[in-house]
Amino acid sequence: MDFAWTSEQEQLRDTVAQFLEARCPTTHTREFMDSELGYDRSLWVALGRDMGLGGIHAPEEFGGAGLSYAETCAVLEQMGRALYSGPYFSSNVLAVNALLVGDSSQSQELSHDVVTCVHSSTVAFIEKSVRWDLKELECSEHDGRINGQKSFVLNGSGTDIVLVIARCRSGSGFGLYAVQEDSVGLSNETIRSLDLTRRLTRITLENVEASKLAEWNESKHQEFLDLALIALANEMAGGAQRMLDSALEYASTRVQFGRTIGSLQAIKHKCSEMLLNIELARSAAFCAARSVSDASERTKMASMAKAMASDAYMKVAAECIQIHGGIGFTWENDTHLWYRRAKSSEVYLGDAPYHRELYLQASGV
């Protein structure tokens, strides 16, 4: 397998990086992370609609560009590097993926509005048990009404449409349902979390009217989870790279005992280990992005990518703070924002030991 981006993908990465550097500096993120939404909606619209990034991997009949999942992952890597706080991951990745996996005329119709950022969306699939597999699902639908509670919903507060995965009490199996954010009986509560730049919400549904978009089953759910893990792993690789860049920049300017600390062997070794971890994680995430069309390999590669990205991001973020010294722990320094994202992403959809176990199981070990 070729482990290098194509020239077109490199151009896409550079374009997104330049846009985010100009429009989404850390000062901008800090400004909006305490706002009601937690992000700048106009910036999200500019990325999704104006730049055409809203549905890169979605087929044209779903309103997308019809490119591969690798292009979406290339964009997410740069968003992770910039610590982008908007709903691109929740709406243009998770929600779009759910609609694509559902693959029905109803989901196709809705996807056009989500892809073009007319409506923001998110997927509610984790429940109070903090599990995300279908067998643990308690939220249920009966006669077009949903009852239950969903936890850890990304950007769930203020989103336009919530896609809910629920049991079908009026039929059999499971379904993907669309719920309007202002529906009677729907309430949400922001969950206090470590990551200040990515909101998590607890959504309660009490006899809420819902529109069924598609049938749902174990196979579809696994595909949805695999795609989410691969996307998250690529975003984490980008964040880890930013931490290395920050550490190198500080080490090359901080003078101690008459010399820059970057010239000290101990710091050189730290930075070398950071680079090694990042390259391993990036290669695994890249390989996983290329494997989405092969169901037999996708699940294994998704777990491997998430495990390696989780380890790498946490190690690199912690080492970055150590290299910065005392200033790395202060509120004024931006390093802690990436550390918070690293920890939040590490445990979201399973930590490294959990996914190493899944990889071994999928490999028949």
Which one of 82, 115, 148 terminates a domain?
115
Domain assignment of residue 102, yes or no: yes
Cβ contacts of residue 111 below 8 Å, gap of 6+?
A: 55, 58, 62, 63, 64, 96, 99, 100
- Residue 325 CB: number of other CB atoms within 10 A? 12
152 contacts 206 by C-beta, under 8 angstroms: no
Which one of 161, 186, 216 terminates a domain?
216
Spell out the per-residue pLDDT of the chain, length 365, in tens: 566 788 999 999 999 999 999 999 999 999 999 898 899 999 999 999 999 999 999 998 888 899 999 999 999 999 999 999 999 999 999 999 999 999 888 888 889 999 999 999 999 999 987 778 888 789 999 999 999 999 999 999 889 999 999 999 866 789 999 999 999 999 999 999 999 999 999 999 999 999 999 999 999 999 999 999 999 999 999 999 999 999 999 999 999 888 999 999 999 999 999 999 999 999 999 999 999 988 889 999 999 999 999 999 999 999 999 999 989 889 999 999 999 999 999 999 999 999 999 999 988 87
Q: How far is CA 346 from the centre of its chain?
A: 11
Letter for the amino acid at 292? V
Cβ contacts of residue 268 below 8 Å, gap of 6+?
A: 262
Which one of 174, 196, 216 terminates a domain?
216
Domain assignment of residue 143, yes or no: yes
Considering the domain architecture, whether residues 232 and 177 belong to the same structural domain is answered as no
Q: Return the closest-CA partner of residue 179 out of 166, 162, 167, 165.
A: 162
162 contacts 184 by C-beta, under 8 angstroms: no
Helix pair 335-347, 218-251: axis angle to 10 deg: 160
Considering the domain architecture, whether residues 234 and 208 belong to the same structural domain is answered as no
Letter for the amino acid at 275? L
Domain that holds residue 147: 121-216
Distance linking the first and last C-alpha atoms of the chain: 24
pTM above threshold 0.85: yes
Considering the domain architecture, whether residues 301 and 248 belong to the same structural domain is answered as yes
Domain count, the chain: 3
Considering the domain architecture, whether residues 143 and 248 belong to the same structural domain is answered as no
Phi, psi (deg, nearest 5) at residue 183? -65, 145
DSSP 112-177: HHHHTTSS-EEEE---TTS--SGGG---EEETTEEEEEEEEEET-TT-SEEEEEEEESSSSSEEEE
CATH of the domain at 242: 1.20.140.10
Domain assignment of residue 1, yes or no: no
Token duo for residue 346? 């590490």
Q: Return the closest-CA partner of residue 321 out of 334, 312, 303.
A: 334
Considering the domain architecture, whether residues 233 and 357 belong to the same structural domain is answered as yes
The whole-angstrom separation of Cα 125 and Cα 228 is: 12
Considering the domain architecture, whether residues 276 and 356 belong to the same structural domain is answered as yes
Considering the domain architecture, whether residues 99 and 134 belong to the same structural domain is answered as no
Domain assignment of residue 95, yes or no: yes
Domain assignment of residue 2, yes or no: no
Q: Return the closest-CA partner of residue 311 out of 248, 356, 249.
A: 356
- As beta bridge partners, residue 294 has none
